[in-house]
Chains A and B, each alone.
Chain A
Amino acid sequence: MKEFAYTIKDELGIHARPAGLFVKEAAKFPCNVTIAKDGKAVDAKRILGVMGLGVKCGQEIVIAADGDQEEEAIATLSKFLEENL
């Protein structure tokens, strides 16, 4: 399993549209991917769960990938977050 932490810089937080784009990215990989805030982890491939975390600007999230292509998943998602959130 691979994981990394990221602090959200977008002032709107993870709102609907970036949540949708993030979920799309995560869904490209066969491994399990989770996104967690304050220890609460949800499936990163499900938009309602990701939005339900209510991640705001300045908060830290932890992305974890487990299974096939976990390294690629982490690299892609980390790049996505840097560029978009």
Chain B
Amino acid sequence: MEIKGKSVFKGIAIGKIEIYNKGNKTVVRRSIEDSAAEVERFEQAKQEAGTQLAALYEKALKEVGEVNAAIFEVHQMMLEDQDFIDAIIGIIENQKVNAEYAVAQTGDNFAEMFAAMDDDYMRARSADIKDISERLVGILCGVGADGIRSEEPIILLADDLAPSETVQLDKSKVLSFVTRHGSANSHTAILARTMNIPALVSADYPDDAEGKTAIVDGYEGILIIDPPVSVLEEYTSRLNKDLEEKALLQELKGKENVTADGRKINLYANIGGVSDVASVLANDASGIGLFRSEFLYLGTDDYPTEEQQFLAYRNVAETMAGKKVIIRTLDIGADKQVDYFNLGNEDNPAMGYRAIRICLDRPEIFKTQLRAIYRASYYGNLAIMFPMIISMSEVKRIKEIVEEVKASLREEEIPFKEIELGVMIETPAAVMISEELAKEVDFFSIGTNDLTQYTLAIDRQNAKLDSFYDSHHPAILKMLKMVVDNGHKGGCWVGICGELGADLTLTEEFVNMGFDELSVSPSMVLRVRDKIRKIGAK
């Protein structure tokens, strides 16, 4: 059976299908009558969790060796820890509540104990406790710990995936994404590009696809369920060819981003979380041009603390070891909603209460993030950029707040570095005042996705409009040129961090326009480098 979809990343994936289970894992406290039966449910879940961990350990032992697999053995021991078990059974029996609640509560308590320790290593262990309690809760609710039930990598089918859901997915288990909804610019699509895996959107797959063997063809935009042997063989050989090509690109590692006629450009990578840094380094990007900070806010129930943010930023700064890391401040709102922000419903959220507007309106949230970034600046080469800017007064207000934050750090004798401040150019207003903005900041980074949607008046979430959405529209290209020229006039360096930066058909034009930097998905770095190195070749 062949299903047509819209491809958002080229490539081929072959594997078993798993349909994403939205299963509600929110733990609710329920009173129960029969606590003995509830304890028995817990014991059953514990046994199942032990079996899962033993299987994980065996698998890891084969794939990554004994030292790295040991963590699953430790998880098994934590699971059998008598203090942990006593606490759970105690809560079930004394409070007469359900096992899910008792496990979640106990997990939180132990995780907090570790989180409060004065040792980075031990603090990180709170994630292990959470991992175990979430595994147990997942088993009790009948949902896999990370939404993916299979222990093998699978082709993941879903109606749609929210950003907070993709954040929590165990990405090492996903060969390909296929969603019924979502447009070419949805978060699932962006995630697939970051991960360098084929993905389809707008593909109306049948509900009974679960567990079947399938092929995702990201070149043709099709999903083939239960393919005949001949088709499977043909695709297997194409997949192998793709892997060979990837290996070729690896040869470009360590080479300079310089055109054949000697023009240099910085090639950075876009990331959405600490775990993406590995692929930045693996793909040899010379820095991080867009570090989306939303992951700290999504997938949690409350505002991340200064300390949590500081540890994340410092981790990335240190791992990148002196290479530039540009952190974009909070860009929540629009299609990225977080419950605890209580943003309320809006008729037109893309043009609504989001990004820098929230930060300037709720300066306490903003200051917490800025303090965390400045504290982390001491440990590497950080820069900050601010999203959704439309006016000079915003930039001036931001700079005042930055000064307040720096003054308070000085007063507390907390070390920090003076770092570059830049603005995202993603509104037509910012383009038109770029000459003035350039005098206030150190760099510009053009967010082409939003700039295109605002300039063309096309909602990027609306799949129906994809045929009208022209990312090469002359209006956009003229704006890019204008921003580069105005930026340079005011002493700013200018880059692109939107999806367009990775458009290989425009790479030469970007170099000609005079861009100083392109920031692209880690998986695109070497392809863009290949393109750059061929420009001007005779």
Chain B residues positioned under 8 Å from A9 (CB to CB): none
Chain A residues positioned under 8 Å from B117 (CB to CB): 52, 54
CA A4 – CA B40 in complex, angstroms?
Answer: 40
- Stretch among A12-20, A33-41, A64-72, A75-83 lining the B interface: A12-20
Task: Give the Cβ gap from A14 to chain B, nearest Cβ, in Å.
Answer: 10
A-B contact count (CB 8 A): 50
- List CB contacts (< 8 Å) of B89-142 with chain A: 110, 113-114, 117-119, 121-122, 125, 128-129
Contact with B along A24-61 (1 / 0, CB 8 A): 10000000000000000001011111011010100000
Chain B residues positioned under 8 Å from A51 (CB to CB): 114, 122, 125
CA A43 – CA B114 in complex, angstroms?
Answer: 17
Tell me whether B121 and A15 are in contact (CB under 8 A). Answer: yes
Given contacts A15-B121, A54-B117, A54-B122, contact A20 B74 (CB under 8 A): yes
Q: Which of B71, B82, B84, B113 contacts A16 (CB 8 A)?
A: B71
Tell me whether A52 and B71 are in contact (CB under 8 A). Answer: no
- Which residue of the partner chain B has the closest CB to A47? B77
Tell me whether A48 and B84 are in contact (CB under 8 A). Answer: yes
Contact with A along B184-208 (1 / 0, CB 8 A): 0000000000000000000000000
CA A47 – CA B77 in complex, angstroms?
Answer: 7
Tell me whether A49 and B74 are in contact (CB under 8 A). Answer: no
B33 sits at the interface (CB 8 A) = no
Tell me whether A16 and B125 are in contact (CB under 8 A). Answer: yes
- Per DSSP, are chain A's interface residues mostly helix, strand or loop, or mixed? helix
B151 sits at the interface (CB 8 A) = no
A23 sits at the interface (CB 8 A) = yes
Chain A residues positioned under 8 Å from B114 (CB to CB): 51-52
- Which residue of the partner chain A has the closest CB to B84? A48
Given contacts A47-B77, A47-B78, contact A16 B128 (CB under 8 A): yes
CA A45 – CA B70 in complex, angstroms?
Answer: 18
Most chain A CB inside 10 Å of its own CB: which residue of B77, B119, B121, B129? B77
Task: Give the Cβ gap from B133 to chain A, nearest Cβ, in Å.
Answer: 12
Tell me whether B81 and A46 are in contact (CB under 8 A). Answer: yes
B146 sits at the interface (CB 8 A) = no
Tell me whether B119 and A46 are in contact (CB under 8 A). Answer: no
CA A13 – CA B70 in complex, angstroms?
Answer: 17
- Per DSSP, are chain B's interface residues mostly helix, strand or loop, or mixed? helix
Task: Give the Cβ gap from B149 to chain A, nearest Cβ, in Å.
Answer: 26
Contact size range, A: 10 to 19
Chain A residues positioned under 8 Å from B78 (CB to CB): 47-48
CA A56 – CA B74 in complex, angstroms?
Answer: 19
Tell me whether A12 and B121 are in contact (CB under 8 A). Answer: yes
Given contacts A16-B128, A17-B74, contact A54 B83 (CB under 8 A): no
Task: Give the Cβ gap from B56 to chain A, nearest Cβ, in Å.
Answer: 15
Task: Give the Cβ gap from B50 to chain A, nearest Cβ, in Å.
Answer: 14
- Which residue of the partner chain B has the closest CB to A48? B81
Given contacts A16-B71, A17-B74, A20-B74, contact A47 B119 (CB under 8 A): no
Task: Give the Cβ gap from B109 to chain A, nearest Cβ, in Å.
Answer: 11
Chain A residues positioned under 8 Å from B119 (CB to CB): 13, 54, 56
Task: Give the Cβ gap from A54 to chain B, nearest Cβ, in Å.
Answer: 5
CA A23 – CA B76 in complex, angstroms?
Answer: 12
Task: Give the Cβ gap from A67 to chain B, nearest Cβ, in Å.
Answer: 17
Can you list 16 A-B contacts (CB < 8 A)?
A12-B121, A16-B125, A16-B128, A17-B70, A17-B71, A17-B74, A20-B73, A43-B82, A43-B83, A46-B81, A47-B77, A47-B78, A48-B81, A49-B81, A51-B114, A51-B122
Mark A residues whose CB is within 8 Å of B. Answer: 12-13, 15-17, 19-20, 23-24, 43, 45-49, 51-52, 54, 56
Given contacts A13-B119, A13-B121, 19 further A-B contacts (CB under 8 A): A12-B121, A15-B121, A15-B122, A16-B74, A16-B128, A20-B70, A23-B77, A24-B77, A43-B82, A45-B82, A46-B82, A46-B83, A47-B81, A48-B78, A48-B84, A52-B113, A52-B114, A54-B119, A54-B122
Sort A-B residue pairs by CB-CB distance and give the 7 closest, nearest first: A16-B74, A48-B81, A20-B74, A47-B77, A17-B70, A20-B77, A54-B117
